[in-house]
Amino acid sequence: MTLENNLTNSLNSEIVTVDDSQIINTAWDSEQGLKLILESAPMAIVTVDFAGRILFGNAKLTAMFGFAEDELIGQSIELLIPERFHQRHVGYRDDYVRHPRNRPMGIGLELLARHKNGAEFPIEVGLSTIQIAHDQVTIATIYDVTLRKRAEEELERRVEERTRELERRRQVADGLRDILTILNSNRPSGEILNYIVAQASRLLHADASAIYRLHDDQDLSLVIQTSHGLPDDYIAWGKRGLDQGINSQAVLTRQPVAISDLAQYIHLGSDPDSEARWEILLAHGYHAVLAVPLVLKDDVYGSLVLYYIEPRNFPKESIDLAVTFADQAALGIENARLRTQVEQAAIVAERNRLARDLHDSVTQTLFSASLIAEVLPKLWHRRHTEGERRLEELRQLTRGALAEMRTLLLELRPSRLIDVGLNELLRQLTEAVTGRARIPIDLQLEGECSLLPEVQIALYRTAQEALNNVAKHSQATRAQVKLICQSDYVKLTIGDDGRGFNRANVRANSLGLTIMHERAEAINGELEINSELDYGTEISLTWINKTAKSQDSLLAED
């Protein structure tokens, strides 16, 4: 009796296991009943013997694989899978015959199937076994999961796109944060704009970028101010102020303008200069452009333009990111403008201060010296002793004027405050104040040491502020400056015999006292101010060299 007959006869009394959750116990009257059930099943079904030969396949199976029933019966089950998987499948089938186990749908095998015409498609296979007499039969239910796989692949693609988009957003956020850091720095405006266009190219995946500045309000021509990745011949065009294409349109409408394909755009009738410029871009392989206006407050400054090698569409999100970068660029330009205005205002203020100092000190000193020089010849013959006194006064005036000029030159070249030693700086300062205020200043210098730049500047500025107070407010007849410079500490003292002041009745900033305290705190120094009405004023600033003290302590321990 054949296995097919055994299958039919045994169904009259045997229990057939379809899967783990369902067992059918039914008596069948004929093979026709079995076929009717299998044929009407909503999935493809195939039965296979222990040797892997196909015993039966329903209509769903033949429709799915394109074979006629007589082309399947007796053939190896490997007929239904690609040839490159045959050997692996035979090994799995042999193992399954030795150790049969159910594989319900939902957790079934996922395989790649082969249609009669050679086309491959994904399937899911559920497995169960039945025992007929002494023979084992495998029943396989098969689903074509092409649509499910496509849905899974589409979902996976969307997840990957979303993941990439989230990563891109993170990179953009980091890039914008870096741009804000650069904007808040003191870097030159050109360096800031170069950084912005480089970041725009990187984060917006552009192959090149540029910032254009509006050159002429009348014809809306723009010139390249800075660029990243553009060819030199195109930059040469961009610096001629001939751009009256999409950049001008973006500036005029204050809206982004995109060209997805330059080759199709050129024939639309742009002016000759613009067409030649587009030809240069095409020659260098650029095929798409996005221009975004740069708006500073209510005024249009120019545009941010992104260039792409491949033709492309510009989704709203990409345009919005470009607009964000344009806003950052506009902020950078505005900050640079404000910084320039502040610098120019500071320069003007400094020039005015120097002019006042020249007028208040050097000019008046030289005027006094010129008066003495005019009367000195006559005075010298009439009253020789008075002439000698005036000659000494003239010498002091000219020496003071020279010292004052040197001091003003130091203000113009602050680096000299570091290059010149503190002793020499104090000599020039005291001579300048003596010549200006006609107050003798006794300068005492004990020791000479090399100081940190910030310490030396703080000491010098404190002496300068104190001596200015002596000259302007003290009504002193004499003053003294004493500097003690040792390896482990420095002490600067400025005193006068003037009218002094009551600190309770003097605002802290009226005599520059706040500035002195700030300079002392900046170097961790100690500032002392002692003053009494009619008994003069003494100001001292002490700085301890903690590094030197630590080294001395280590040497003492050794």
The answer, yes or no, to whether residue 542 has pLDDT greater than 90, is yes
What span, in angstroms and rounded, lies between the C-alpha atoms of 490 and 483?
Answer: 7
Same-domain status, 206 and 124: no
Q: What is the pLDDT of residue 274?
A: 61
Confidence of residue 494 (pLDDT cuts 50, 70, 90): very high
List residues bridging with 24 in a β-sheet.
Answer: 16
CB–CB of 365/337 below 8 Å?
A: no
CB–CB of 471/439 below 8 Å?
A: yes
Q: What is the pLDDT of residue 104?
A: 66
Confidence of residue 557 (pLDDT cuts 50, 70, 90): low
Task: Locate all alpha helices (DSSP H) within 59-116, ordered by sequence.
Answer: 59-65, 69-72, 86-98
Confidence of residue 275 (pLDDT cuts 50, 70, 90): low
From residue 298, how far is each of 60, 225, 249, 267, 337 by CA, in Å?
71, 20, 17, 35, 15
Same-domain status, 139 and 173: no
Residue 428 lies in a domain: no
Q: The domain containing residue 318 runs over which residues?
A: 168-334
Q: What is the pLDDT of residue 551?
A: 53
Q: What is the pLDDT of residue 65?
A: 94
Q: Which helix (H) or strand (E) holds 310?
A: none
The answer, yes or no, to whether residue 381 has pLDDT greater than 50, is yes
Same-domain status, 176 and 314: yes
Report the number of distinct structural domains present in the chain: 3
Residue 518 lies in a domain: yes
Choose the final residue of a domain: 291, 311, 334: 334
Tokens of 237: 């065009």
The answer, yes or no, to whether residue 13 has pLDDT greater than 50, is no
Residue 406 lies in a domain: no
Confidence of residue 239 (pLDDT cuts 50, 70, 90): low
Question: Which tens digits make up the pLDDT trace of 35-90?
Answer: 777 788 888 999 888 888 998 899 899 999 999 989 999 999 989 999 888 888 88
Mean pLDDT of 508-523: 79
Mean pLDDT of 459-476: 87
The answer, yes or no, to whether residue 113 has pLDDT greater than 70, is yes
Choose the final residue of a domain: 334, 364, 387: 334
Same-domain status, 324 and 253: yes
Residue 382 lies in a domain: no
β-strand pairing of 479-485 with 441-446: parallel
What span, in angstroms and rounded, lies between the C-alpha atoms of 100 and 450?
Answer: 93
Q: Output DSSP code: residue 504.
A: G
Choose the final residue of a domain: 281, 307, 334: 334
Question: Which tens digits make up the pLDDT trace of 165-213?
Answer: 777 777 777 776 777 677 666 677 778 788 888 888 888 889 999 888 8
Same-domain status, 119 and 174: no
**Mean pLDDT computed over every residue of the chain:** 78
User: At 90, which CATH number?
Assistant: 3.30.450.20
Mean pLDDT of 509-533: 85
Phi first, then psi: what are they for 469, rounded to 5°?
-65, -40
Q: What is the pLDDT of residue 478?
A: 92
pTM: predicted TM-score of the whole model, two decimal places? 0.44
Confidence of residue 555 (pLDDT cuts 50, 70, 90): very low
Q: What is the pLDDT of residue 44?
A: 92
Same-domain status, 190 and 327: yes
User: At 328, which CATH number?
Assistant: 3.30.450.40
Same-domain status, 459 and 527: yes
Residue 505 lies in a domain: yes
Residue 340 lies in a domain: no
Residue 356 lies in a domain: no
The answer, yes or no, to whether residue 556 has pLDDT greater than 70, is no
Confidence of residue 20 (pLDDT cuts 50, 70, 90): very low
Residue 389 lies in a domain: no
The answer, yes or no, to whether residue 12 has pLDDT greater than 70, is no
Phi first, then psi: what are they for 165, rounded to 5°?
-65, -40
Same-domain status, 128 and 183: no
Sheet with 44-48, side-by-side order of all strands = 54-57, 44-48, 135-144, 120-132, 109-114
3-class SS string, 167-178: HHHHHHHHHHHH
Mean pLDDT of 389-417: 69
Same-domain status, 487 and 530: yes
Same-domain status, 177 and 307: yes
Same-domain status, 186 and 324: yes
The percentage of residues in the chain with a pLDDT greater than 90, rounded to a whole number, is 16
Same-domain status, 224 and 307: yes
Highest mean pLDDT among 58-62, 338-342, 383-387, 499-503: 58-62
The percentage of residues in the chain with a pLDDT greater than 70, rounded to a whole number, is 75
Question: By mean pLDDT, which of 171-185, 314-328, 404-418, 431-445 is the weakest?
Answer: 404-418
How many CB atoms within 10 Å of residue 333?
22
